[in-house]
Amino acid sequence: MDLLSVVLTLRPSRQASLPPRLGRASRAILLERIAEADPMLAETLHGGQGPKPYTCSNLMGPREGSGFVFPGASYTLRYTALRAPVAAALDEAFEAQTEVGFEGVPFAMEARTADEEASPWAGHDTYQEMAARHLRPSRPAPEPSFRFLLASPTGFQSQGRTIPLPLPGPFFGSLVRRWNAFAPLALPEEDVRRYADEMMVVSRFSLRSEPGWDRGRALRIGAVGEITFRALSRDKYWLSVLHLLADYARFAGVGAMTTMGMGQVRHVALHGKR
């Protein structure tokens, strides 16, 4: 198992006001759990440059007024892993856990799942199997359209600036960069981005802007909602590569700050349930 997405269902012990963006706290919870079993792995995950082999969501669920959480409501927290050692550590990190805390507020863990049948955000896979499903020569020509659900603010970094719009080039460029950082089979990164830039268009969107991360006065803004991309060229190879990366998005996240709650993205069916 190279790829893992674990969804935790939580319930607060009491009504409390919490900050709206808890991605940093979510990351700290994961690294603390991993450090209990493997301090060296946790230290490696905490530091380093380049793409990180994991993602962390914000605390997701109903918030009212000044960010109040309520004991009558359920909340979710999601973590993903992009390398086999990290997936193994994540799989065990919350196995015996009964409680997590945010800002001194305890949340009881009601459920933990990596089963896609239980949650469309959960799941597990391998790079080899994912590539085989999408890149085998006998596969029928893929759909030329791609619809994505952006569940948390999704933005991109370019020359020191944040780009809050999910345009095809940065979107698929982010995914292929992560794929090449961790997968055993490399994809032609520059060519993927060029194809997305030149041959993909936005055909439909329902987006709003939201801050996804803050430190003092510094804010990172991203887009939340749904967006559909369409290919102008029906080249089977390139469509297969983009569908591979689209399915990878559920594990890899998209864009900047994916270890701090941003970029929680999932490829969804063009027709049927989300």
| Percent with pLDDT over 70 in the chain | 97
Distances (CA, A) of 79 to 64, 65, 92, 255, 260: 24, 27, 12, 16, 11
List the helix and strand counts (H, then E) for the chain: 7, 14
The class of domain 129-268 in CATH terms is: alpha beta
The structure tokens listed for 46 are 């905490």
Q: Specify the domain boundaries for CATH 3.30.70.1890 within the chain.
A: 3-113
Sign of CA dihedral 160, 266, 251, 120: positive
Q: Which helix (H) or strand (E) holds 26?
A: helix 23-37
Q: How confident is the model at residue 273 (pLDDT cuts 50, 70, 90)?
A: very low
pLDDT digits 0-9 by tens, 12-36: 999 999 998 999 999 999 999 999 9
Please enumerate in sequence order all residues whose Cβ is within 8 A of that of 130, keeping only pairs 6 or more positions apart, or say none: 3, 244, 247, 248
Half-sphere exposure for 78 (CA within 13 Å, toward CB)? 29
Residues 6 or more apart in contact with residue 164 via CB below 8 angstroms: 153, 155, 156, 209, 221, 222, 223
| Token pair listed for 82 | 């992009």
pLDDT tens digits for range 202-224: 999 999 999 887 766 678 899 99
Find which of 48-57, 150-159, 237-246 is predicted with most confidence, using mean pLDDT. 237-246
Tokens of 183: 């997968």
8 A C-beta contact, residue 146 and residue 267:
yes
CATH fold label, 3-113 = Alpha-Beta Plaits (3.30.70)
